[in-house]
Amino acid sequence: MKKTLAAAALFAMATTPAWCGDGESALSAKLYGSLKTDFLYVDGNSTNNEYAIFSAPGAPNSTFRASVRGSRLGVNLAEKDLGLTGKVETDFLGVTDGGTLTDLRLRHAYVEKSFGDLSVLVGQTWSLTPAELPDTVNDYFLGYSGALWNRSAQLRGTYKLNDMFTFAAAVARPTKTLTDNNGTTAAMPGAQARATAKVGSLQMSVSGIWERQKQSAMAAGTTSSKADTNLVALGLTYNLGQFTLSGQAWMGRNVDDFNAGAANSSVANIYNNGGIRAKGGYAALKYKPMDQFYANFMCGIDKPYDSDVKATASATSTSNKLQNGTCLANLNYVYSKVITTLEFAHNETEYYDTSIANSYTSKSNRMQMTMKYLF
């Protein structure tokens, strides 16, 4: 009930103007969003419901799902007296109380102020990983399959040197977990930075991120009280008319906060032997011959270092992922404000089993049809 009231309040805020004392509107609010319906068939075992992030071991267990949880509701704000812009955006993919699968989830909530070539943002939005994200109807965007991303509460400054070069830096919440954990216990903000260059149809960026986690009390079997996240990433987008190439490449240590490192993020993983190193990336090709039709093809991989995973391996083999990769293709048809998408994805996850001191691979295929109405 509370979540329904929150959504109703957001809608009311977007459709009711705010007024200054002189009778002129100071705040403008524009409602936007999408109604998204997903139909998914998975051949083989997959994890995380609609996200289908990993292929789980065991005998194949095919599933069919239908969901509208990926629908979004947002408001773009502009306050002319103070020169502020802002955004509030939600979807229904949160699961916070264990009682429902349609919890309201906050995606973005920020205000931004420009001072000439410098802008300052306060609130929650995308972290300063590469801006490129895969064009897929899976709302996990190849997370743990080579694509870095996260949204975090932050204080960010962005400086536009000229039409070619932009630099951004932020201090941010040092964990993607919304409750207190070893990230908040470190009592230090995370540091993020990204430099972007645009030359004609080519855009390139380099990102650097640092965070610290700290155990308030040493867990049994761990050798260090601190664990640092270090991450360097490159992003690229190249527009060739009907074709667009894009992708990321990265390497780092203890990078689970940015949906990387194949989810090897247990206390034993990161507080022993320097943590889990990983590298990965993805490459994508978009073909758009007309406004009404486009197609995407992409592959990505998330590859922790074998030696790091094996050195901290759990007796539960599903916790020891040596790599995870996904290849997918989709076809999209646009009719007015409705986008219909057919997508096929193949995922493979490699695990390390300590009982046999060897690895094995699980595979799954996801077939998805999505219809999305934009407003």
* pLDDT tens for each residue of 132-175: 999 999 999 999 999 999 999 999 999 999 999 999 999 999 99
Convert the pLDDT of each residue in 297-318 to its tens digit.
Answer: 999 999 999 999 999 898 877 8
Q: Strand locations in the chain, DSSP E?
A: 18-19, 25-43, 63-67, 72-79, 84-94, 103-115, 118-126, 151-160, 165-172, 190-199, 202-214, 226-240, 243-253, 277-290, 293-304, 321-335, 338-353, 358-374
CB contact at 8 A, 144 and 134: no
- Residue 142 belongs to a domain with what CATH number? 2.40.160.10
* pLDDT exceeds cutoff 50 at 20: no
pLDDT at 57 over 90: no
* Number of domains the chain contains: 1
- Using alpha carbons only, what angle is made at residue 211 by residues 210 and 213, rounded to the nearest 5 degrees? 155
Question: Could you count the other beta carbons within 10 Å of the beta carbon of residue 299?
Answer: 20
Q: What confidence category does residue 24 fall into, taking pLDDT thresholds of 50, 70 and 90?
A: low
**pLDDT at residue number 323:** 98
The answer to whether the Cα torsion of 120, 125, 127, 131 is positive or negative is: negative
Radius of gyration of the chain (CA): 22
* pLDDT digits 0-9 by tens, 126-140: 999 999 999 999 999
Q: What is the pLDDT of residues 68-87, one digit of tens each?
A: 999 999 999 999 999 999 99
Residue 46's pLDDT is what?
A: 82
Burial zone of 30 (CB within 10 Å; 0-12 exposed, 13-18 middle, 19+ buried):
exposed
Six-digit token string for 143: 């997370």
Please state the rounded mean pLDDT for residues 349-353: 96
- Asked whether residue 10 carries a pLDDT value surpassing 70, the answer given is no
Q: What is the pLDDT of residue 147?
A: 98
Domain that holds residue 208: 2-374
pLDDT averaged over every residue in the chain: 91
pTM: 0.92
Query: Which three-class secondary structure state does DSSP give residue 17?
Result: coil
Position 199, amino acid = V
Q: What is the pLDDT of residue 258?
A: 98
The predicted structure's pLDDT at residue 177 = 87
